Amino acid sequence: MRRRRVAAEDSTVYRITGARQSLDDDVRGRQRRYIISMLVRTLAVVLTLLLWNVSRPLASVTLVLGVVLPYVAVVIANAGRENAPSLPSTFLTSGSVRALPPGNEDPHKRS
């Protein structure tokens, strides 16, 4: 038995490379970035404690990093989903084509 061939009009291939990331993947990615930022902050605080008597300027830099990083991590973690600039606009432009052309007859006039 032979399989029937699909008609040419049904062979359209749709690409989803421009589709948005799923909400679960987006939240998981933001959680991962936050955890990594907090691990770096913890490392900075530990380095501050270890370097305090060895090199105060370097310990001061790690201290500032440990203080500033939580704010930056929260801002990055709370950043919304990515924008999708390739999605079509919902607004009609002046050059848009109407679905039906305007009629030539008066709608109240009967023949």
Query: 102 or 44: whose pLDDT is higher?
Result: 44
Cβ–Cβ < 8 Å for 44, 56? no
Rounded to whole angstroms, how far apart are CA atoms 58 and 48? 8
Whether residue 101 is predicted with pLDDT greater than 80 in this model: the reply is no
pTM: 0.54
- Closest C-alpha among 39, 102, 84 to residue 65: 39
Query: 24 or 12: whose pLDDT is higher?
Result: 24
C-alpha distances out from residue 34 to 29, 37, 62, 75, Å: 9, 5, 18, 9
Of 23-27, 78-82, 83-87, least confident by mean pLDDT is 83-87
